[in-house]
Amino acid sequence: MATADQLIQDAQKRMDASVEHTRTEFNTVRTGRASAALLDRVQIDYYGQQTPLKQLATINVPEPRMLTIQPFDPTSIKAIEKALQESDLGLTPSNDGKLIRLPMPQPTEERRKELVKVVRKIAEEGRVAIRNVRRDAVHHLKELTTNKEIGSDDERRAEEQVQKLTDDHTKTIDDQLRHKEAEIMEV
């Protein structure tokens, strides 16, 4: 059976993973600036296989509002262009036969407000994941106390540590959210 310290360490690892996942999700949301991470979720139908774009092409950011995509296999350029048009990014690719250019228009005020809602939802999912880790840890601590493996004082101390971890990780997500909202609303 796990000790209280092991439960706390496990909770910390799982909360760190939730924060990291939230940060990764934030990076896939489009702001006014070009970022190769925007294309992380784009999948291409390559010879009948759904393949991530970054495995099929080199993605560059030659200027702040432009992405270029250079396929390793020139015959896949049409499939890549089609996947980009069908993605939820709302971007229009142009291709010259060797290279796909993806210009980033300045998002409208309305679009920026929609994007803020999207990142708030991502942040809330991250906070819920952290609270779920806390709930599991507290549940396991109560089991340890019930089985008389730790005393109620130890349980209370461990619960306080778990709550502090929860507060710290939730604050980290809130800070990331504020930063991302500012980035989106920046004109």
Distance, CA of 78 to CA of 85 (rounded, Å): 11
For the chain, the helix, strand and coil percentages under 3-state DSSP, each to the nearest 5: 65, 15, 20
Distance, CA of 63 to CA of 35 (rounded, Å): 10
Structure tokens at 37: 């991470």
The closest of 18, 2, 1, 13 to 162, measured between CA atoms, is: 13
The 10s digit of each residue's pLDDT in 131-170 is: 999 999 999 999 999 988 888 898 999 999 999 999 999 9
Q: What top-level class would CATH report for the domain 4-27+108-185?
A: mainly alpha
pLDDT score, position 8: 92
Please provide the CATH number assigned to the domain covering 36-103. 3.30.1360.40
The closest of 95, 80, 96, 97 to 39, measured between CA atoms, is: 80
Distance, CA of 120 to CA of 114 (rounded, Å): 10
How many Cβ atoms are within 10 Å of 91's Cβ, its own excluded? 17
- CATH 3.30.1360.40 residue spans of the chain: 36-103
What stretches in the chain show pLDDT beneath 70? 1, 30, 32, 187
Cα–chain-centroid distance for residue 139? 28
The conformation of residue 70, written as its DSSP 8-state character, comes to: E
The closest of 1, 6, 16 to 158, measured between CA atoms, is: 6
The 10s digit of each residue's pLDDT in 49-64 is: 888 888 989 999 888 8
- CATH 1.10.132.20 residue spans of the chain: 4-27+108-185
Between CA 81 and CA 88, with CA 85 as vertex, the angle to 5 degrees is 135
